[in-house]
Amino acid sequence: MLDRIRIVLIGTSHPGNVGAAARAMKTMGLGDLALVSPRCEPNAQEAISRASGADDILDAMHRFEDLETALADCTWVVGCSARSRTLPWPMQKPREFSANLPAQLSHDNARVAIVFGREDAGLNNAELQRCHAHVHIPTNEAYSSLNLAAAVQVMAYECRQAWLEYGDNAASATSQHAEPFGVEWDNPLATHDDLERFFAHLERTLIAIDFHDPNNPRQLMARMRRLFLRAHVDHMEINMLRGILSAVDKSATIAPSKPAQDRE
Ligand code: SAH
């Protein structure tokens, strides 16, 4: 179970935080560290000293140019945020996230990512809108922002508690955690990559049929993302949705050539 959880750090600017995050992960048995566009040298001496023996996590970490590639194979993505946002999004406390982990990881293709933002600016809206849910670590409202590696530690601890309670046989625990995949699901879950292709297709089609004006977006695509991410669609469902869009594309290109009297 723990080997299918990825910690993703975006735009980290202090190598010490990368090292401390690696240490936080290793103490809790996590090993998959991904850095997206780091703003520092993540293998600097300070990272190695702060990793304090968790060098193997630093040696194995992957670097990505963009978030999409870092998340491509993930089926459940949460973004950790110290602040609330303009567009409300499904929220979980760390304990709720971990109680749901066995169910999220019950399918063979399942992989979970926990995304953390920049030390100075956190996660931006586009990044948060790529997540199924947001996790807020309940802190002092008057001083709510943890150090990056401290936030990683809290989430890694929660992952370990779920593993200690349910073990590697996540599927056996799902009867107690029926939301939303409490029974063995019939299809693999859609990956982040499947979803991003679907959202790109959806946007193209909505523009083509004049439903969406990219110059006046009015949060349409953000709301579409929230809707479909909330449904947590599987592979077959995403293929059906893509098929519907292709049928719409086809009739949208055919429709203008029809004689005016044939139209409604
Ligand atoms: N100054 C930033 C916070 C940066 S802290 C801001 O205002 O958004 C670096 C990262 O640690 C955050 O992006 C978030 O991923 C995580 N983090 C810090 N405090 C958190 C909290 N209370 N709940 C969830 N994540 C938190």
Mean pLDDT of the region 22-34: 98
Q: What confidence category does residue 168 fall into, taking pLDDT thresholds of 50, 70 and 90?
A: confident
Q: Residue with the nearest Cα to atom 11 of ligand 1?
A: 148
Q: What are the pLDDT digits (tens) for 206-231? A: 999 999 999 998 899 999 999 999 99
From the CA of 192, how far away is ligand 1's center (Å)?
A: 23
DSSP designation for 190: P
**Percent of the chain whose pLDDT exceeds 70:** 90
Residue 122: beta bridge partners?
Answer: 118
Q: What are the pLDDT digits (tens) for 69-117? A: 999 999 999 999 998 778 999 999 999 999 999 989 988 889 999 999 9
Going from N- to C-terminal start, the domains of the chain cover: 2-172, 192-254
Separation of CA 125 from chain center: 13
Q: Residue with the nearest Cα to atom 5 of ligand 1?
A: 119
For the chain, the maximum distance between any two Cα atoms, rounded to a whole number of angstroms, is: 76
Residue written as token pair 């999004």 = 89
Beta carbons of 9 and 116 less than 8 angstroms apart: yes
Q: What confidence category does residue 177 fall into, taking pLDDT thresholds of 50, 70 and 90?
A: very low
Q: Is it true that domain 192-254 has CATH number 3.40.50.300?
A: no
Q: What is the rounded CA–CA span in Å between residue 120 and residue 154?
A: 19
From the CA of 152, how far away is ligand 1's center (Å)?
A: 10
From the CA of 151, how far away is ligand 1's center (Å)?
A: 7
Q: Residue with the nearest Cα to atom 20 of ligand 1?
A: 82
From the CA of 92, how far away is ligand 1's center (Å)?
A: 14
From the CA of 165, how far away is ligand 1's center (Å)?
A: 27
Phi then psi dihedrals of residue 173, to 5 deg: -90, -10
Beta carbons of 12 and 22 less than 8 angstroms apart: no
Q: What is the rounded CA–CA span in Å between residue 200 and residue 69?
A: 15
Could you say which architecture CATH assigns to the domain 2-172? Answer: 3-Layer(aba) Sandwich (3.40)
Closest by Cα among 5, 14, 7 to 118: 14
pTM (two decimals): 0.93
Pocket residue to mutate for ligand 1, from 14, 81, 115, most atoms within 8 A of Cβ: 81
pLDDT of residue 183: 59
From the CA of 143, how far away is ligand 1's center (Å)?
A: 11
Q: What confidence category does residue 25 fall into, taking pLDDT thresholds of 50, 70 and 90?
A: very high
Q: What is the rounded CA–CA span in Å between residue 190 and residue 170?
A: 19
Mean pLDDT of the region 244-249: 97
Phi then psi dihedrals of residue 7, to 5 deg: -100, 125
Burial classification of residue 200, based on how many CB atoms lie within 10 Å of its CB (0-12 exposed, 13-18 middle, 19 or more buried): exposed
Residue 62 tokens, joined? 């992957």
Q: What is the rounded CA–CA span in Å between residue 148 and residue 102?
A: 25
Around ligand 1, the residues with Cβ closer than 6 Å are 80-83, 116-117, 119-123, 135-137, 139, 144-146, 148, 151
Q: What are the pLDDT digits (tens) for 107-148? A: 888 999 999 999 999 999 999 999 999 999 999 999 999 999
